[in-house]
Amino acid sequence: MPSSPSLARRRLLGLKKPDAPPPLRPPWTREATVADRCTRCGDCLEACPEGILKVGTGGFPEVDFRVGSGECTFCGDCASACGEGVFAAPEPEPEPEPAAAPAFAALASIGSGCLAEAGVMCQSCGDACPERAIRFALVRGGAPRPSLDRDACTACGACVSVCPADVIAVRSLEGAPA
């Protein structure tokens, strides 16, 4: 099978808008590695027990938290299924490593149109967040307002599909200003 096009070549050919944020790739991958090594075989998509991986631009895998279970459990099945070295999943350890590298170079964000921000009682995202990264501050005479603890957010996406206003997204931090 011919090698996959380089990231620069993909941009040149218009497969990615230069000003658009990069798509959210599967856990333990980075955009450049996907562009250089992924053969678009689909093994990672088939291996994902949560069903959140889809074929994206150029045939490369992308995460879509609005399909399947709507959440990444970081099981590692996608990484185990890949024979091309696209994934840099950590080796399983008997005890969890406290300072392990994050699986996603991404972060959840709550956009405008949040029902709680508009004064409507809604805490769906906070209830769904396994890490409790979305917390709600009490507001006198109003609905509690959400806030995101960036350090606690794993970008698992559990908050995305449960949002009734569809204003939560998990965005890649690759290429974002620091």
At residue 17, does pLDDT exceed 60? no
Number of structural domains in the chain: 2
> Would you say residue 170 lies in a domain?
yes
Residues 109, 175: one domain?
A: yes
At residue 173 the predicted structure's pLDDT band, cuts being 50, 70 and 90, is: confident
Residue 1 confidence (pLDDT): 46
Give the residue from 66, 81, 96 where a domain finishes: 81
Q: By C-alpha distance, which of 23, 79, 70, 88 is closest to 47?
A: 79
Residue 94 confidence (pLDDT): 56
Residue 88 confidence (pLDDT): 87
At residue 128, does pLDDT exceed 80? yes
pTM, 2 dp: 0.78
If residue 146 lies in a helix (H) or strand (E), which one and from where to where? Answer: strand 145-148
Residues 11, 76: one domain?
A: yes
Reported as a single tens digit per residue, the pLDDT across 31-48 is: 889 999 999 999 999 999
At residue 102 the predicted structure's pLDDT band, cuts being 50, 70 and 90, is: confident
CATH number at residue 56: 3.30.70
Q: By C-alpha distance, which of 109, 105, 106 is closest to 146?
A: 109
At residue 100, does pLDDT exceed 90? no
Cα-Cα-Cα-Cα dihedral of 173, 9, 53, 127, to 10°?
10
Give the residue from 81, 96, 123 where a domain finishes: 81
CATH number at residue 114: 3.30.70.20
